[in-house]
Amino acid sequence: MEEQLKTILTEAFGESSDSEGEEQQQLVHSHCVENRDNGEALTGSVFGESHDWEKISEIDGLWLCKDFLSPDQQSKLLSSIQKEEWFAQSSSNQAMRFGDLPGWAVELSSSIHEAILFDNCVAELESCEKGKEACIFPQDLLWRKPLFDQLIVNMYRPGEGICPHVDLMRFEDGIAIVSLESSCVMHFTRVENETCRDQDPPQKVPLLLIPGCLILMWGEARYLWKHEINRKPGFQKWEGQEIDQKRRISVTLRKLCCTD
């Protein structure tokens, strides 16, 4: 475990002297003591910023960070997207990029990496068994290079959503979605198989996405659950209240499968 921690610290901070390394390890150990998991939520300090992570208990591999982007960061990200002029025409509502991503998207990917780095470390240091249960993002995915190389930005007008789907198999495990502007409810439904089609309709798990939040999908959440957003009148309710639907922007980052 100490060697794993040393590797993580080297990746995060670069090479350091023995005394600096001891200080870094002490910093992480203090972080672990002060920020043990509390039920299904983890709180961690990431490079001076505090983030709350919620594990969605019904679905393995689904995590929500409600406070990923501050209002100012959201504004800057929206400004960067607007400068691309992807949605200048009224008929345009989606933009996709492969490989060479815009600078702001690369920066967003780096921010996602940093936001989960120390909290994954916390989970690992607790215990191997507990770390598996509390892993926000698998290490083999977190350290792949690049972390993401495919970008899709969607602009949804009021009433527009997305049908139930599992992301294409041309993409690797591990998907990140940042939600901007209007709040919405995303529903998850487990993929049906031949043995359960005659049974009761599959359970839907709702997830409230607020502006600036980040969701991570990997493992079962990525492959065994469909996700959808139905923004037709009457479908967007949370705790009995209808959500005021306005324009919504979503930024999805994925990694293309190797073709070798």
Report how far residue 23's alpha carbon sits from residue 95's, in angstroms, rounded to the nearest whole number: 44
| Phi, psi for 206 (deg, rounded to 5) | -85, 150
Domains in the chain, ordered, with CATH? 51-125+134-192+203-254 (2.60.120.590)
pLDDT in tens, 43-77: 443 344 567 889 999 999 999 999 999 999 999 99
pLDDT in tens, 1-10: 445 445 544 5
For the segment 191-204, the average pLDDT, to the nearest whole number, is: 66
Confidence of residue 242 (pLDDT cuts 50, 70, 90): confident
pLDDT at 171: 96
Give pairs for 83-89: CB < 8 Å, separation 24+: 86/153, 86/155, 87/155
pLDDT at 235: 81
pLDDT at 3: 54
CB 154 within 8 A of CB 260: no
pTM, rounded to two decimals: 0.78
For the segment 143-172, the average pLDDT, to the nearest whole number, is: 94
Please give the C-alpha separations between residue 245 and each of 56, 65, 163, 242, in angstroms, as whole numbers.
Answer: 24, 21, 17, 9
Which of these ranges, 9-13, 53-57, 93-97, 256-260, has the smallest mean pLDDT?
A: 9-13
The mean pLDDT of the chain is 80
Nearest by Cα to 87 from 151, 157, 148:
157
